[in-house]
Amino acid sequence: MSHTGPGHQPTASAISTPDIFPVAQTPAAFTENSAAIYGLFDKRSAARYTRLAEEGRRFILGPMPPDAFIEQFLAKGHTLTGMPDPKGAFSALPHLKAKGMSEKAKGKGGKDESGERDENVNSQQDDTPDVLEPGKKAQGKSAEKDLYVPFLEALNERKPDPTNKGHPSRCPGFAFRDTSGQADKANGNVGSVKPDVSVYAEKHLHALDSADSQDAATHIGLIATFVEIKTEIDFFKDPPSKSSSSKKKRKSRAKHSFILDHIKNQKVLEYATRALGQNIAYAAEVCGRQYRQCCYSVSLTGCHARLIRWDRAGAIVSAAFDLHKHPEYLCQFFWYFSQMSDEERGYDMSFGVATEEEEGLFRDTIRAHVISQLSILPREGRRRAQGGVVEDDGDEDHERAVEAELALHYRPGGVSSILLTTPGLSTHERPRKLLVSQPLISPMTMFGRCTRSYWAVDCTWDVQSGSFLGRTVFLKDTWRYNARAFDRQEGDVLDALKQGNVPNIPDVNLHEDICSFKDVKVDAHGALVSTPVFQSTKTQDYYKAVWNCCRDGVVMLAHTHYRLSLLVVGYPLVRLQGSRELLEATYHAFQALKGAEVLGYIHRDVSPSNIILCRTSSEVPGEVSRQGYLCDWDLCRQRKDSKLLDDYEVSATWQFQSIDTLERKPSQDHNHTIHHDMESTLYVTLYCALLYLPHHGGDPASCFQRMFDETHLRGGRVEGGDGKSKNRSNRTYTAKIKWECAPMTEWLNTVMDYHSSGQRDRWNPDVLDTFWRAFLEEKQALLHVNDRCFNIKLLLGKRDENKVEQRASRIIRGMPLVAPYPYGATVRAGDIRKRGNDAEDEVAATGQPPLKVRKTTLTPSGGSKSSYVPPLSTQQLGVNLSTVDTLPASVPPTTVSDNEDINTDHGSIDDLTRWPFEFTFHLPIFPISGSSFPLISASSESAGNSGATTASPLAMHAASAQPSAPTSSSSLATRRRHMNE
């Protein structure tokens, strides 16, 4: 059922095969992505920055000469024509003299004693500042705020005045704003971020209320790039150039520690570590809240600057340069940045803003699927199910439940459309596109696979009816590993498993490695031809560069941007209703593991996110029936490949990894086997039982911390597994915990006995399958159907029971994630609030929507649904997406209007901790009244291969040429008011 285009193997230049260090098993990396979602450790900025720095330092390369950095990443195809003279551009910045300057290169002109010029070290690197202890007075020291004003004045356009002759902008089309005082709290107070200087497109300044001000609110969704400023702290240290030969210099650089290790004072080291993590966090937020391939930033320490390029493989950092001595580097950086195409700046141009019609289709289709998955009936349905009269408030409860659930997937004004880039997925006869809004999972760090997942709508333009047909699908957007031959596309693995009749595996709708369209040429027939280039990371290509320090033990892997659409659309295991569903769904997942192992496939990443609950048809009214499906096979290996001892670390979910994996101890077979995945399934069941099922006795907080969140450093690497090992030996943490559902306690104890035996004749798939199947048949009537609860405060313990927001992720708490911004989007509803309105920010952090919002309208070109023109297919896309001067990929022009006098009733919910799935009535799909869009169930045989239309800028040009519908007087009044402003 999958559809892939030809040429899916990336070019050789897109892949770098590093020297992999030897380890046993499948080493699990402790990363913010792999651990923070299900962990209960501190989520506040100081702790998070420290974790991000410790995790990210091994993904950072440098120091790259700044002139080489600019030439490689920004200057190609662009010129410096018209750039203002950089001389003295930053003369107003205070001179900060730091202790411990790097030792200067010997000889004149950057030459060493042998007279050979060091081409990898810039002459200005001698000025790299060392780190000073925070708060320690030093000559020339200045507060960060003292750097903001002269820095902003040097970069922004400045009109002539009596004291200054003025200068044009050093980054035309963009504006630099001080955002250090107004955080972006879209993810709550704990997840708030505020870069020191944010760079916005000038078209966004009005919406940010910053057209005539040097300061602005932080809006991560709109930031083009950012600058983080410190007065004295540089977490990088460039190597000195003093060796007597080039060979010695290269050897010296290979041993030089570029990141943090030069800091000996412990307090300063902690401060610098957090500062590094802060930069990583801001880059992660930009790439998480926008659709990005990469992003750029600047790190400023006093008057010394570094340029940074971030992608999912790692970061490349330039050598430091003094802005007083070498202002040209930063001036060239921003000048070239302004000339680059949007794609070159790092935007993923396959995403765009959905039209009004597309948003309506998305809302109605997702709402219908929400209703089909909820176990609650409206009043008439419950009357039929119960054979009697029900209370009148049933409809209200039903609507509240549906709207609460819909809010997890859909945000008004926040729907994006996705261009399918593989030929054949979308054609002129049957154009398709995918529509998404709020993700279910979003990346929490900068590096790795950084998966987003959505409930999406796959819609097809029906030429005969002149309308869209849509159905709900599950979409996974990820940066897959692409470093070795056995790093396969997940869709291909699922197809192989389906062909082998492995049960409880989702059907593939479509999948593709994502392409960008470049090198547009005219062929012999006069047609425009564009060459697709896969979206892949670049950092790994510079791993062996001669300027890179500390290459020993560093693993750099190529990642390719990949999308997978599935026909199973349900809820992760954490949305379980009770004990019976937990044991049934995990058994379904175990059956998939067992069936895949017969074919020689090992999953390697069993977690609650990877077990999906999807409602199946039930002929018994009111009966709850949800099937468990095992998803996320992207880390899967065939058994023959899993035997390798030189595997690289993977960001598998930390809390559920086996003891052997966490302790990095080789098992008997020296490979990852189904026995490790069986162990992970046990931990998934225990985790969900602790968090969501009623129990008493023992110390559940200690059990959770030691068995799931425990980490320690050993040999410079983060390891774990001690708590799991102790519990395997003598039930140290689980012996006294009893579940109110007695069969749950019995199942856990029995399976833990099998696991602790250490004997393959007891801990093997066949024995576990026999026991589990018989247990469910025998105990089904005794297993509680609807005993779900939320034990988060119990697991945090008395010390931290009131710190739920600081400890538990939004996913565990069931709160919606922020919908990312596609390129070309403007401000959406509620995203920008009045300055100083802390009350609204506090309300937003709790998940309750504000009463007054900044209203955004997204209007298709032409202003009328009837004027919509179906999009062209990728086969007809004979244009370079990055150079079209209209909005990309079906992005309509947008208008932003502030209707602050209008109260928007969001239908607030009194208790967000009570979920609609706690009701027990089955609710079938029903037609959406008043909808003009035909809805197709994912299980419909007649749906065929329908999916999402693919729009292009050409289609938008055509749409804009259509006559517009009459405009209301209120809309005209709003436009006139904006024109006057």
pLDDT at 476 > cutoff 70? yes
The SS3 of residue 754 is: helix
Which of the listed ranges 27-41, 67-81, 927-941, 946-960 does the model predict with the highest average pLDDT?
Answer: 67-81
Burial 64-77 (b: 16+ CB within 10 A, else e): bbbbbbbebbbbee
pLDDT at 673 > cutoff 70? yes
pLDDT at 448 > cutoff 70? yes
Residue 256: per-residue pLDDT: 82
- Three-state SS string over 145-206 comes to HHHHHHHHHHHCCECCECCECCECCCCCCEEEEECCCCCECCCCCCCCECCCEEEEEHHHCC
- Distance between CA atoms of 56 and 444, rounded to whole angstroms? 12
Q: Of the ranges 125-134, 350-359, 714-723, 849-858, which one carries the lowest mean pLDDT score?
A: 849-858
Residue 928: per-residue pLDDT: 26
C-alpha distance from residue 937 to each of 453, 470, 616 (Å): 20, 9, 12
- Distance between CA atoms of 75 and 340, rounded to whole angstroms? 8
Residue 922: per-residue pLDDT: 27
Name the amino acid, one letter, at 486: F
Mind listing the pLDDT tens digit for each residue in 545-595? 989 987 666 678 899 999 999 999 999 999 999 999 999 999 999 999 999
The most distant pair of C-alpha atoms in the chain lies apart, rounded to whole Å, by 97
The average pLDDT across 740-749 equals 96
Residue 228: per-residue pLDDT: 95
- Residue 851, H or E segment: none
Q: Which residue has the tokens 């200068």?
A: 167
pLDDT at 639 > cutoff 90? no
Which of the listed ranges 5-19, 591-605, 811-825 does the model predict with the highest average pLDDT?
Answer: 591-605
Contacts of 642 (CB under 8 A, 6+ apart): 26, 602, 604, 671, 672, 673
Mind listing the pLDDT tens digit for each residue in 104-142? 433 344 443 333 334 333 333 333 333 334 444 343 334
- Distance between CA atoms of 474 and 616, rounded to whole angstroms? 16
Residue 485: per-residue pLDDT: 75
Q: Of the ranges 231-245, 454-468, 565-579, which one carries the lowest mean pLDDT score?
A: 231-245
- Distance between CA atoms of 414 and 857, rounded to whole angstroms? 10
Other C-beta atoms within 10 Å of 388: how many? 8
Domain annotation for the chain: domains and CATH numbers: 61-89+146-339 (no CATH), 571-828 (1.10.510.10)
C-alpha distance from residue 234 to each of 18, 104, 371, 563 (Å): 29, 18, 53, 38
Q: Quick check: 434 and 457 in contact, CB under 8 A?
A: yes
Mind listing the pLDDT tens digit for each residue in 296-306? 999 999 899 99
Residue 937: per-residue pLDDT: 34
Q: What percent of the chain shows pLDDT beyond 90?
A: 42
Written as six digits, the tokens of 250 are 């290269």
Q: Where are the beta strands (DSSP E) in 740-858?
A: 856-858
Phi, psi of 117 (to 5 degrees): -75, 135
pLDDT at 246 > cutoff 90? no
The average pLDDT across 260-272 equals 90
Residue 815: per-residue pLDDT: 84
Name the amino acid, one letter, at 92: A
Mind listing the pLDDT tens digit for each residue in 210-229? 777 888 889 999 999 999 99
Greater pLDDT, 690 or 912: 690
What DSSP letter does each residue of 580-601 carry, written as one string? HHHHHHHHHHHHHHHHHHHTTE
Other C-beta atoms within 10 Å of 767: how many? 14
Give CA torsion, residues 577, 579, 583, 588, to 10 deg.
-20
C-alpha distance from residue 203 to each of 150, 221, 286, 647 (Å): 24, 14, 18, 48
pLDDT at 424 > cutoff 90? no
Q: What percent of the chain shows pLDDT beyond 70?
A: 69
Written as six digits, the tokens of 959 are 């749409």
C-alpha distance from residue 824 to each of 169, 297, 311, 409 (Å): 22, 20, 21, 21
Name the amino acid, one letter, at 124: Q
Greater pLDDT, 62 or 932: 62
- Which of 222, 950, 872, 944 lies closest to 514, judged by CA? 950
Residue 553: per-residue pLDDT: 60
Angle (nearest 5°) at CA 551 between 550 and 556: 130
The average pLDDT across 396-422 equals 89
pTM of the entire structure? 0.78
Residue 799: per-residue pLDDT: 75
- Distance between CA atoms of 565 and 2, rounded to whole angstroms? 9
Residue 34: per-residue pLDDT: 73
- Please, which pLDDT band fits residue 707 given cuts at 50, 70 and 90? very high
Residue 250: per-residue pLDDT: 66
- Please, which pLDDT band fits residue 519 given cuts at 50, 70 and 90? low
Residue 97: per-residue pLDDT: 52
Mean pLDDT of the chain: 74
Name the amino acid, one letter, at 818: V
Compute the chain's Rg from CA coordinates.
29
Strand partners, 671: none
pLDDT at 949 > cutoff 50? no
Residue 40: per-residue pLDDT: 87
Greater pLDDT, 644 or 674: 674
C-alpha distance from residue 574 to each of 136, 374, 611, 789, 908 (Å): 49, 15, 9, 11, 24
pLDDT at 903 > cutoff 70? no
Q: Quick check: 880 and 518 in contact, CB under 8 A?
A: yes
- Distance between CA atoms of 279 and 28, rounded to whole angstroms? 24
Written as six digits, the tokens of 974 are 């709003």
Mind listing the pLDDT tens digit for each residue in 48-89? 999 899 888 889 999 999 999 999 999 999 999 999 999 999
Residue 388: per-residue pLDDT: 44
Cis peptide before 65 (omega within 30 of 0): no
pLDDT at 155 > cutoff 70? yes
pLDDT at 858 > cutoff 70? no
The average pLDDT across 178-201 equals 88
Mind listing the pLDDT tens digit for each residue in 37-56? 888 888 888 889 998 998 88
The average pLDDT across 915-937 equals 28
- Residue 437, H or E segment: none
- Distance between CA atoms of 578 and 789, rounded to whole angstroms? 9
The number of CA neighbours under 13 Å toward the Cβ of 587 is 22
